[in-house]
Amino acid sequence: MSESTETRRPANRVLPHELPASLRDAGLGNWIREPLDDAVDRRRRIIMPPAAAVMGTPASAYQGALLAEARHPDTVFMMGDNPALPAMPVRPTLRDFFRLRFSKIARTHLLQSARVARENGLDEKVIMACLLHDIAIAGLLPANHGYWGAQMVAPYVDEEVAWSIEKHEALRYFPDESVGYTYPEAYIDYFGPDYSPPEYIRQEAKAARQHRWYMTSRLVTINDIYSFDPNVVVDYDEFEDVVGRNFRQPEEGLGFDGSPVAHMWRTMIWPNNFL
Ligand SMILES: [Fe+2]
Ligand SMILES: [Fe+2]
């Protein structure tokens, strides 16, 4: 190695930075990863929280402070693998996202919903839709999750599966007594007893009800289980066969097949990338 290359390398030993007290108190330490032993090049890495996560919160005021921190010579923004997350394989499959990216609570919710659908003897399209229905909450964004989720999986599943994932978001708010579906108790806790869905959601639900695939999406809502019991264990392997028949796994791996939604999967592989 030439001497000039040597001098450009970051110092071997980086002392922990003392953040000003005001920034420490504001929780900025949560977004800065000190160079631990597992870090490749011993530099501090800053994670800039996404706008969608901080807009409307005090944390949005600290964008400038984080940019200033990045000007330290031993500090860079997070790009590529975050050592705090398990590394993903080169060609990730749906299974890898379930196991290496989704939180236990999100994973269990999806697997449990799919299990109930299977126990109820429902069609594989319904089981597949249940398995994927909240995938956007699990890995991307909760707001508009039905729409994000449907787009993410659309190139890989039957059109009816993607449609029912999209529409479950609106249908969840509206009872259908003919099939025994009532307004979710959990929503009273989540949104308060006075919550009323906005007009666009009402319109979506009304239109979905007239659609030929209505019952597929309705069955997603019926099997949408809100029992987040941490002791319930459902293994992804239980659904490997259903996924094999109903999810066209791209050879290049999810995120690298050049599809119009590949960037969404890459965002879940490297969720902390600055850009
Ligand atoms: Fe949902
Ligand atoms: Fe759900």
Task: Encode 32-72 in three state secondary structure.
Answer: EECCCCCCCCCCEEECCCCHHHHCCCHHHHHHHHHHHHCCC
Distance 110 CA to ligand 2 centre (A): 7
DSSP 99-130: HHTS-HHHHHHHHHHHHHHHHTT--HHHHHHH
- pTM of the predicted structure, to 2 decimals: 0.90
Ligand 1 is an ion; residues with CB less than 5 A from it? 134
For 19-49, the pLDDT digits (tens) are 778 777 777 878 887 765 555 567 888 999 9
Higher pLDDT, 104 or 36: 104
Q: Which long-range contacts (CB under 8 A, 24 or more apart) does 197-200 make?
A: 197/170, 197/173
Residue 15's pLDDT is 59
Distance 171 CA to ligand 1 centre (A): 10
Distance 10 CA to ligand 2 centre (A): 46
For 197-220, the pLDDT digits (tens) are 999 999 999 999 999 999 999 999
Distance 146 CA to ligand 1 centre (A): 6
Average pLDDT (72-82) is 89
For 218-234, the pLDDT digits (tens) are 999 999 987 667 677 89
Band (16; pLDDT cuts 50, 70, 90):
low
Residue 227's pLDDT is 61
Residue 7's pLDDT is 46
Residue 126's pLDDT is 98
Binning the chain into helix, strand and coil, the percentages to the nearest 5 are 50, 5, 45
Residue 122's pLDDT is 97
Terminal-to-terminal C-alpha distance of the chain: 31
Band (3; pLDDT cuts 50, 70, 90):
very low
CA dihedral 119, 125, 126, 132 (to 10 degrees): 110
Average pLDDT (241-259) is 98
Residue 96's pLDDT is 98
Distance 117 CA to ligand 2 centre (A): 13
Distance 234 CA to ligand 1 centre (A): 19
